[in-house]
Amino acid sequence: MSLVAAIQMASGPNVKANLEEAEKLINTAVQQDAKLVVLPENFAIMGMSEVDKVTIAEKYGEGPIQQFLSQQASKHGIWIVGGTIPVDSGVTGKVYSACLLYNDSGEVVARYDKIHLFDVVLEANEESYNESETIESGDDVVVADTPFGKIGLAVCYDLRFPELFRAMADVGMEICVLPSAFTSLTGRAHWESLIRARAIENLCYVIAPDQGGYHMNGRETHGDSMIVDPWGVVMNRLPQGTGAVVSDIDLDKLYRTRKNFPALQHKRLDCKISYT
């Protein structure tokens, strides 16, 4: 078994202050013996406007945010999933929302660029989001081999697209990490249901750190960071506030569940489709 942690924050527009807060929460997780720490989406910046992240974008492999993640991983001897950070896309005015996985030596071993972009209108509270204005979509599904198991990387809005998770399961995913910044409205309606569904249908663990609280730009995020087992049981959660959600990942339990309930082996895609 391995102890893992999901970090919950309420990030603001000041990168330095956000990194200081992240460091404190990583320390909290390490004090509880966590060996894999997952930060939320946009942990380093929740800007006053969407273009703020473009302004502080880093070249891949360079910059203070990536240096911070590398140093934290090597300092504590832990693996870190760096939530998302804005990485230069080569397209003027746009960045990749990159989720980076660091090993315990501080080296990047996997990178996932967010595929599904949050372009929606929420009529209930008159909020609208258009991530594609400042974010370039990624194209690659990513699963990485680690000491904790095979980890699939996904981000926030990806949660609503089960075919992405099944694609990761098809190449062996055992744990999915889901750095997020779910809105308060959509979080109340769908957050727990979707996380548990992805865990159940793929018979995998889901580590889901979320932004949680009120942000300086006026946005409210849902929080309720959680870790869910392959049977859909919420093992630990943090409904509100900042902190670290810590729980065990037991691959033997996962293997037993998949053996006794082999739903992944029962899928059929060879059936004919009839329209009437």
Q: Which of 132-136, 210-214, 269-273 has the lowest mean pLDDT?
A: 269-273
Measured CA to CA, the distance from residue 160 to residue 137 in angstroms comes to: 16
The pLDDT assigned to 137 comes to 98
Return the HEC string of 198-220: HHHHHCCEEEECEEEEECCCCCE
Selected catalytic residue, list 58, 114, 131, 204: 114
Model confidence pLDDT, tens digit, residues 96-144 = 999 999 999 999 999 999 999 999 999 887 788 999 999 999 999 999 9
For residue 112, give the nearest of 54, 151, 78, 79 by alpha carbon: 151
Burial class (CB in 10 A: 0-12, 13-18, 19+), 276: exposed
The pLDDT of 149-164, averaged and rounded, is 98
Q: Which domains does the chain have, with CATH numbers?
A: 2-263 (3.60.110.10)
The pLDDT assigned to 31 comes to 98
Tell me, yes or no, if 41 is annotated catalytic.
yes
| CB contact at 8 A, 42 and 52 | no
| CB contact at 8 A, 205 and 199 | yes
The pLDDT assigned to 2 comes to 87
For residue 148, give the nearest of 195, 109, 202 by alpha carbon: 109
The pLDDT assigned to 17 comes to 98
The pLDDT assigned to 123 comes to 84
Residue 1 has pLDDT above 90, yes or no: no
Mean of per-residue pLDDT scores for the chain:
97
The pLDDT assigned to 276 comes to 81
Measured CA to CA, the distance from residue 196 to residue 198 in angstroms comes to: 6
Tell me, yes or no, if 131 is annotated catalytic.
no
Within 10 angstroms of residue 133's Cβ, the number of other Cβ atoms is: 13
The pLDDT of 38-66, averaged and rounded, is 97
Tell me, yes or no, if 156 is annotated catalytic.
yes
- In this prediction, residue 157 has a pLDDT band, given cuts at 50, 70 and 90, of very high
| CB contact at 8 A, 249 and 4 | yes
Selected catalytic residue, list 21, 35, 41, 53: 41
CA–CA–CA angle 141, 37, 197 (5° rounding): 55
Model confidence pLDDT, tens digit, residues 217-246 = 999 999 999 999 999 999 999 999 999 999
Q: What is the pTM of this model?
A: 0.97
- In this prediction, residue 255 has a pLDDT band, given cuts at 50, 70 and 90, of very high
The pLDDT assigned to 127 comes to 81
Selected catalytic residue, list 156, 176, 192, 204: 156
The pLDDT assigned to 126 comes to 75
